[in-house]
Amino acid sequence: MPRISKKGVIRDRFEEKGFVRVENVFQESELDQLIAEIDDILEKFGKSDKSREETLKRLARESGVKEKGRYAEMTKLHEITGLLRHLVPLHALETKIQNVCDVIYPEYDLCFTALTDILIGFPEDDRFHAWHQEFSSMGEVEILNFWYPVLQDATPKNGAMKILEGSHRNGLHPWERESHHPEYGHPVDNRIPKNIDDLIDEHPLVRGDVKRGDVIVFHSNLVHKSGPIANNSPRMTGIMKMGPVRDDLPSELSEILETRPQRD
């Protein structure tokens, strides 16, 4: 397991900016193994000799949501993402993330994984492009949020995250709900800070470019959003939520995380 250098620098940057990029957390071979198993799943949904991108777009077109109140019937993409989150290579990455959690929270003896997931984003799908804080949906400030690209480096062309640097220091902002019911996957409730225009003026806007193998870790109060995908190709990113083991950890946390759609 690789040793994480500059631990003090990582902690200081995280506390000051609300996020930090940690380099070389994963090896290329580990992500390649994950992609190989993702492709095995796509084969079952008709990938055949077509490219991964073509298959995902076709499945998206065939996955029209049938409304049932605020929720929807399972779509093919929803079914695929459910299979992806159980892949062994995906959970093998948790040990590497554990190292990062130990660096951010050295005062705790143990960190636990609250959520591991893979998100699929599409150029036509703008439901994720709203500013938000993880804490508004999650209700637990000490859970760290990890974001990393799976297929390729995260750049402005494929939807790199946008961040309001230092916005975590303001705590949780009053928010207003903006609901989306797109044709892809789950309906989404965006919880946008009511004072978002002021926050944009007050904090530097930083683009979360991340190289493949690197991880960006951010505070639950950090105001952020996903950038639009400009290269017309579906995006796959890994999401992990991990936090310290505490006696006062809310018992309903796992239920909250399970029922809240992930956006980033």
Does the residue 209 lie in any domain?
A: yes
Does the residue 222 lie in any domain?
A: yes
User: What is the C-alpha separation between 129 and 182, in angstroms, rounded?
Assistant: 13
pLDDT digits (tens, 9 = 90+) for 31-46: 999 999 999 998 887 7
Q: How many domains does the chain have?
A: 1
Does the residue 250 lie in any domain?
A: yes
- Locate 216 and state its tokens: 């960006």
* pLDDT at 108 > cutoff 70: yes
Does the residue 2 lie in any domain?
A: no
Does the residue 118 lie in any domain?
A: yes
Residue with tokens 């580990």: 30
Does the residue 15 lie in any domain?
A: yes
* pLDDT at 62 > cutoff 80: no
**154, 210 contact by CB (below 8 A):** yes
Does the residue 26 lie in any domain?
A: yes
Q: Give φ, ψ of 95 to 5 degrees.
A: -65, -35
**47, 154 contact by CB (below 8 A):** no
**59, 76 contact by CB (below 8 A):** yes
User: What is the C-alpha separation between 148 and 236, in angstroms, rounded?
Assistant: 9
- In this prediction, residue 248 carries a pLDDT of 72
- Whole-model pTM: value is 0.86
Helices (H), the chain: 7-17, 28-44, 52-61, 76-84, 88-92, 94-104, 135-138, 196-202, 253-259
Does the residue 264 lie in any domain?
A: no
- Our CA dihedral for 197, 139, 65, 147, rounded to 10 degrees, sits at 80
User: What is the C-alpha separation between 250 and 169, in angstroms, rounded?
Assistant: 22
Q: Give φ, ψ of 154 to 5 degrees.
A: -85, 120
* pLDDT at 100 > cutoff 90: yes
> What's 117's domain CATH number?
2.60.120.620
Among 13-22, 119-128, 232-241, the least confident range: 119-128
Structural domain including 18 reads 7-259
pLDDT digits (tens, 9 = 90+) for 186-215: 556 778 899 999 999 999 999 989 999 999
Number of H helices, E strands in the chain: 9, 12
